[in-house]
Chain A
Amino acid sequence: MNLIEVKNLKKEYGNHEAKTQALRGISFDISEGEFVAIMGPSGCGKSTLMHIMGFLDRPTSGVYKFKGKSIEELTDDQLAEIRNREIGFVFQFFNLLPRTTVFENIRLPLVYSKISSAKKQRELVGSAAKAVGLEHRLWYFPNQLSGGEQARVAIARAIVLFPAIIFADEPTGNLDSKSGQRIMDIFQKLNNEGHTIILVTHETYTARHAKRIIRLKDGLVVSDQKVADGDRVWAKDGELKK
């Protein structure tokens, strides 16, 4: 079943005099369990596309269906609920709350969820932290962590509620290659466990972890390719190959 259906999606910014078209009619489907990389030069519309697919923004026209449901039918509060339950974001700068422990950072989505039992929340935060190998850092503050560890906190926060999709926006953009590789391994592992992952990047080597690459240019899809397993970098002993 298609998790995401995008049909002729358009997004315009600005008023009538100065209109910019960020997306000019995009169509594709994404199924459950896929690992998709959306690539393209900056300004190609990939961030806009991620925001719409992540329910942070609405399209100007076209169809965006998530689990068969069109975004048009949803109120802002319902969008917030979907973001909470179905979507996990890993932002480029991780956006961790300063002066707030790793535990509290990972717990953040739970604050806005229906899971109110403190015990249950601790369990969920614990298992998310374990999945990214941070169970020993729960009571640290973000400024006491390395960049790679901060990225892992952001991933743990994204997966704490077992979302249907994880969106990652240039997650390795600010990391050295060794930490970046570790992060990509984690995404790989999460995908193997069944998480659907959509990665927005302009780095070819990170995109190579994906099973499918959608390339955008000037608000249009220019290519949409499946990547053969043999070409995927992770298979080659985890060594990054540029």
Chain B
Amino acid sequence: MKISDSIKISFRAVAANKLRSGLTALGVIIGIASVIIMIALGEGAQNLIIGQIASMGSTTIFIEPGAFDPKKGGDIMQSAMEEMSLKTLTYDDALALEKDPLVEAVSAIVFGVDRIVYKNIDKKVSFMGGMPASREILDIHTIKGRDITNDDLKSNAKVAVLGYKLAQDLFGEENPIGETIRIKKTNFKVIGVLEEQGTQMFMNLDENIFIPLTTAQRMLLGTNSVNWILAKARSEEAVDETVESIRLVLRERHHLYNPEGDLSKDDFKVMSQKETARMVSTVTSVLTLFLALVAAIALLVGGIGIMNIMFVSVTERTREIGLRKAVGAKSKDILEQFLIEAVILTVLGGFLGIVSGIFLSFIGVLALQKIGGLEDWRFFVPYQTVVLAFGICVAVGLIFGIYPARKASRLDPIQALRYE
């Protein structure tokens, strides 16, 4: 029997019951559409996060307070929140690292949110206290005025550099240089404006205000600790060596006896951009896997629907099966016919599922961009996903079609011909 004949016969059977076939395929349509949406959104989120991390540059090294906890593993979002309250890193740590010959640049950083006032404008703004080297590490430069210097740091100067958008919001067309703004009841002199930057490390730097680290610590936060220390290795090849060197310096300064290099015994974490990206990938992969599991359950339900309707189809067409056998169909011909019918149902469902999945994830990404404000979220459906979805459909058809098809192929021709 020619395969084209099998396909033709099966198509005719599927087309003969359009509504029923459509409803049956709906399970698969929903299953496949959810697979596509899950993966598209998962990949989009991962690309967004990795893109943000990559924006830091490949030689950037993060030092965060708190030990590496293998139990929490990749849960960096949660630990990032906890780290904000840890006080194990200080400005002096950063100064010590500056002396490490492997380290090209270092900047301790503190974050905060507070009200700023200029004339009649009063708004809540994130501020970042840093060292001059943070410009080099973050690769941001002033377009107006001057940047924060080491002298500002030493003298706790009350000076501020504004993010591009913040400067526009406060001053419009006026020149902000030399103007005075108030942050938490303290007057700061605006000395510079940064170039337009967009988001980096999940912070919109354009709406940030930058002040000397020491000023931020004493005047605004009342603390000696820092939230992060950013360092820069001399080259991409030297990153791993630099990370190790930083650990040794910090252990010595913090009086930690840790000759085995057990990261959970430290009170800080040192991560290169590469490692951070890898950790994020692990998190999102686990998430994607979980979502895929949900989709798999949807497909299982869809598959059972297919099996059910195939049994109905076999019973309905018992006489047809008997006739086909009487005119020479072998058991394997009947098996093939019903298997192909099941696969046509699932592949048809899969095709519609892929189309609607791509369409819905596109709508979803549009919503995230326009309503959610995540302009950097890109629409992305990996072609492997489409191939995979198609493969899954064929597999579901075969797995859930084989039992009804076997039942059909084993019918006794005489019994089948007499079936009413």
A95 near B414 with CB under 8 A, answer no
Taking CB atoms, residues of chain A closer than 8 Å to B329 are: 80, 111-112
Taking CB atoms, residues of chain A closer than 8 Å to B9 are: 111
A77 near B5 with CB under 8 A, answer no
Which B residues, 217 to 276, have Cβ-Cβ distances below 8 Å to chain A? none
Taking CB atoms, residues of chain B closer than 8 Å to A77 are: 330-332
Taken together as a complex, chains A and B put the C-alpha atoms of A90 and B330 apart, in Å, by 19
B328 near A56 with CB under 8 A, answer no
Taken together as a complex, chains A and B put the C-alpha atoms of A157 and B413 apart, in Å, by 17
Residue of B326, B331, B332 near A56 (CB, 8 A) is: B326
B325 near A99 with CB under 8 A, answer no
Which A residues, 149 to 163, have Cβ-Cβ distances below 8 Å to chain B? 157
The B interface is mostly helix, strand or loop, or mixed, namely helix
Taking CB atoms, residues of chain B closer than 8 Å to A2 are: none
Q: Which of B79-87, B125-133, B316-324 contacts A (4 or more CB under 8 A)?
A: B316-324
B327 near A108 with CB under 8 A, answer yes
Contacts A89-B327, A97-B320 given: A112-B1 contact, CB under 8 Å?
Answer: yes
Most chain A CB atoms below 10 A, which of B330, B331, B333: B330
Taking CB atoms, residues of chain B closer than 8 Å to A91 are: 323, 326, 417
Contacts A51-B414, A56-B413, A99-B16 given: A83-B326 contact, CB under 8 Å?
Answer: yes
B328 near A80 with CB under 8 A, answer yes
B12 near A99 with CB under 8 A, answer yes
**Minimum Cβ distance to chain B for residue A84 (Å):** 2
A95 near B330 with CB under 8 A, answer no
Taken together as a complex, chains A and B put the C-alpha atoms of A220 and B413 apart, in Å, by 24
What 1/0 mask marks residues of chain A from 76 to 101 whose CB sits below 8 Å from any chain B CB? 11001101110001010001010110
Most chain B CB atoms below 10 A, which of A95, A99, A111: A111
B328 near A95 with CB under 8 A, answer no
Residue of A57, A81, A97, A99 near B328 (CB, 8 A) is: A81
B71 close to chain A: CB less than 8 A: no
Residue of B12, B323, B332, B333 near A95 (CB, 8 A) is: B323
Taken together as a complex, chains A and B put the C-alpha atoms of A95 and B416 apart, in Å, by 11
Who on chain B is nearest to A158 by CB? Answer: B327
Taking CB atoms, residues of chain B closer than 8 Å to A57 are: 414
B2 close to chain A: CB less than 8 A: yes
A109 near B2 with CB under 8 A, answer no
- Interface range, B side: 20 to 34
Which A residues, 88 to 137, have Cβ-Cβ distances below 8 Å to chain B? 89, 91, 95, 97, 99-100, 108-109, 111-113, 116
Taking CB atoms, residues of chain A closer than 8 Å to B327 are: 83-84, 89, 108-109, 112, 157
**Minimum Cβ distance to chain A for residue B319 (Å):** 6
- Chain A contributes a number of interface residues (CB within 8 A of B) equal to 24
Taking CB atoms, residues of chain B closer than 8 Å to A51 are: 414
Chain A contacts to B: CB under 8 angstroms = 51, 54, 56-57, 76-77, 80-81, 83-85, 89, 91, 95, 97, 99-100, 108-109, 111-113, 116, 157
What 1/0 mask marks residues of chain B from 1 to 36 whose CB sits below 8 Å from any chain A CB? 110010001001000100000000000000000000
Taking CB atoms, residues of chain B closer than 8 Å to A111 are: 1-2, 5, 9, 329
Taken together as a complex, chains A and B put the C-alpha atoms of A77 and B325 apart, in Å, by 10
Taking CB atoms, residues of chain A closer than 8 Å to B330 are: 76-77, 80-81, 112
A112 near B326 with CB under 8 A, answer no
A76 near B331 with CB under 8 A, answer yes
Taking CB atoms, residues of chain A closer than 8 Å to B333 are: 112
Q: Which 9 A-B pairs have the closest CB atoms?
A: A84-B328, A112-B328, A109-B327, A80-B330, A95-B323, A111-B5, A83-B328, A77-B330, A112-B329
25 sample A-B contacts, Cβ–Cβ < 8 Å, listed by A number:
A56-B413, A56-B417, A76-B331, A77-B330, A77-B332, A80-B329, A80-B330, A83-B326, A85-B328, A91-B326, A91-B417, A95-B322, A95-B323, A97-B320, A97-B323, A108-B327, A109-B327, A109-B328, A111-B2, A111-B9, A112-B1, A112-B324, A112-B327, A112-B328, A112-B333
Taking CB atoms, residues of chain B closer than 8 Å to A100 are: 12
Q: A84-B328, A113-B328 are in contact. List 13 more A-B contacts (CB 8 A).
A: A76-B330, A80-B329, A81-B328, A83-B326, A84-B327, A95-B322, A97-B320, A99-B16, A100-B12, A108-B323, A108-B324, A112-B327, A112-B329
A89 near B328 with CB under 8 A, answer no
Who on chain B is nearest to A54 by CB? Answer: B326
B323 near A116 with CB under 8 A, answer no
Residue of B2, B320, B326, B332 near A89 (CB, 8 A) is: B326
